[in-house]
Structure 1
C-alpha cells in the first residue's frame, strides 16, 4: 500500500513575555512541531510565526 506524504504548514505563536520565559518560545514551538511532523512523515511546506502581538486590545 502506497501512502501519500501529507503536506502541512506549522504555526507558532507567542503573545506574552511570560510564555516565552516558561519555555513556549517560537524556537521551541517550531522545533516541537518539526519533530511531530517528522514522526508522522509529514512534509512541512510552510511555517507561520506570530511573534508577540496580542489580540487583547484593538488600540495601539
Structure 2
C-alpha cells in the first residue's frame, strides 16, 4: 500500500481539469480578441531571453 487515498486521485484529476478549462478559456478569449487574424493565438509564453533579464516577472 502506497498510502495514497482514492480521493487524492480525484483531487488531482479535478485540478488538471480546472487547469485545462482555464487554458481553453484563455485560448477562446485570445481567438475572439484577435479575430479575424492571420496568425494563430499562442496560450503559452516563450522562454525568457538574455535580453529580457532586466524585466521582473511573476512565477
TM-score by length of 2: 0.33
* Structure with the larger strand share: 1
Larger RCO, structure (CA 8 Å, separation 6 or more): 1
* Structure with the larger helix share: 2
TM-score by length of 1: 0.32
